[in-house]
Structure 1
Amino acid sequence: MVRLVVLIFTFSAFLAGCSAVPEGPDQQRVNVAALPDWQADGSMGSFTEGNHHPAIASLFAKAEIERRKQRWRSAMTYLDQARQIQPRNPAVFYRQAWVSLQMGDRAQARNLLQRGLVFAQSDVAMTERLNQLLAQCQ
């Protein structure tokens, strides 16, 4: 009986230690420094700016290559993949909205920015950047 009590106690302690969920790639906070800056000529800076999850950084790098070649659909494909990994990352929505603007789809850009605003509610600086791009959609 004592063995059973010790075994149950040990097992429950083990489960309690395993219950902490590590921060996943879709739960990482993104700050404004992770967003591309506007350049003096009115273009957006590199999509690779900022510190991101390695998978997201790789997809941003691929999207950046396509952006430089003005292959907007390919860039959007990579950004869609990034959003699948981090569906609550407002920085992904920001980049997608910018690409949508380049493709001439202001309605989609507005939709993406509004969705990004939902996930950036607690971050005033991020909300401001998203609103600045949203103003350009008008």
Structure 2
Amino acid sequence: MDSTTRLHQDDSPPLSDPFIYRHLVGRLIYLTTTRPDITYVTQQLSQFMATPTQVHYAAALRVLRYLKNNPGRGLFFPRSSSLQIYGFSDSDWAGCPDTRHSLTGYRFFLGDSLISWRTKKQTTVARSSTEAEY
């Protein structure tokens, strides 16, 4: 997904058959177990399962195009990797345009292999970027 695109509930025309969108996003959710690179966008798309619009469906189709053009990206565990654990975390301030909640994420590597990751919407609204990071 384009990093400047923020999906939100808007006045764009709703899909005539929301089952198609739900079915597609459900398959993307299943695929995130081996493709952590689409986890964030799938989480964003799954927020609109109740009332998907044309904009949301277009974003889901863009994810499918990405998957088609990058078939080799996925979890890879090389044999020659070191046994050091690395962790990274980050959050944004008021990243969700609908609720103004911040998003927090982390990922852990064992050598060069990704072993754990998560993105979560914070439960409270942060009043500053420092509070969002805390």
Report TM bin, short chain. under 0.3
TM-score for both structures, normalised by structure 2: 0.27
Q: Which has the higher strand share?
A: 2
Q: Which has the larger radius of gyration?
A: 1
TM-score for both structures, normalised by structure 1: 0.27
